[in-house]
């Protein structure tokens, strides 16, 4: 994977990626067309598919690259020491994932590994994210009756669900952080949760329940 090919091939691949980035900057991920990329790169259509098994794999790579950049920041950052700090620290990564509905869908589909010995770039990035979160969660205020790993996976489960809701017109008057908070509080600080009765701790979906 490191040295897959001759120089010409690498150049072509880079041209394709650059062209795709340009197109995405102009049209967004959703509006990306293989024909447009290929035209901009000055290359035949078949060439595209010689380099990327399908369109989604290219997109996955581009999203993963953005995520990796954010991960680098997260890994360097000091661990947060309370729930709100935790949420704030992860917010940039989460906003990245919710920029575009299309992007979120790709992530939802690929954030778990999809084939034996064949973790896609997004799945790999998510493993790294789990590591960061696990690490942060091992510390002081958070529950310890359960492995950090399990805790981290739970955080992702709630995050994905809240993000999905973010795209639902019925519920989007409330921000991601606000939506996510009650879940994480109940998940990460189960003993504290009983103490407060402030604010509507109803689930984010209750708005929909009303409407139904």
Q: What is the smallest separation between the CB atom of 170 and DNA, expressed in angstroms? A: 23
> In angstroms, rounded to a whole number, what is the distance separating the alpha carbons of residues 32 and 43?
16
Residues in region 147-176 near DNA by CB under 7 A: none
What does 140 interact with, of DNA, its own copies, none (CB < 5 to 8 A by kind)? none
- In the complex, the smallest distance separating the C-beta of residue 188 from its own copies, rounded to whole angstroms, is 10
Cα–Cα distance for residue pair 125/130, rounded to 1 Å: 9
Using CB under 7 A, which residues numbered 51 to 110 contact DNA? Answer: 51, 53-56
Smallest separation, CB 61 to its own copies (Å): 18
| Chosen from its own copies, DNA, none, partner binding at 40 (C-beta under 5 to 8 Å by type) | none
> Which of 13, 138, 120 is closest to 67 using CA atoms?
120
Residue 4 C-beta: closest distance to DNA, Å = 6
Cα–Cα separations (whole angstroms), residue 106 to 29, 30, 55, 112, 142: 10, 11, 11, 11, 31
Taking the chain, what is the end-to-end CA distance rounded to the nearest angstrom?
51
Please give the residue ranges that form the binding site for DNA (CB under 7 A).
Answer: 4-9, 11-12, 32-35, 43-47, 49-51, 53-56
């Amino acid at each position: 994977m490191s040295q897959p090919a001759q120089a010409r091939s690498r150049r072509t691949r880079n041209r394709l990626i650059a062209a795709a980035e340009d197109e995405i900057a102009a049209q967004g991920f959703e509006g990306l067309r293989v024909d447009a990329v290929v035209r901009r790169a000055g290359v035949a259509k078949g060439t595209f598919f010689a380099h990327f098994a399908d369109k989604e794999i290219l997109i996955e790579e581009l999203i993963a690259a953005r995520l990796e950049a954010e991960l680098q920041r997260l890994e360097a950052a000091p661990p947060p020491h309370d729930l709100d700090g935790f949420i704030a620290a992860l917010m940039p990564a989460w906003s990245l994932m919710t920029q575009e509905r299309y992007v979120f869908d790709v992530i939802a589909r690929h954030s778990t590994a999809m084939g034996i010995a064949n973790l896609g770039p997004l799945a790999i990035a998510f493993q790294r994210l789990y590591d960061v979160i696990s690490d942060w969660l091992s510390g002081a205020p958070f529950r310890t009756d359960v492995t950090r790993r399990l805790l981290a996976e739970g955080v992702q489960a709630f995050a994905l669900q809240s993000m999905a809701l973010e795209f639902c017109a019925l519920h989007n008057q409330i921000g991601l952080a606000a939506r996510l908070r009650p879940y994480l509080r109940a998940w990460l600080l189960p003993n504290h949760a009983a103490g407060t009765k402030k604010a509507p701790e109803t689930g984010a979906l209750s708005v929909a329940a009303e409407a139904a």
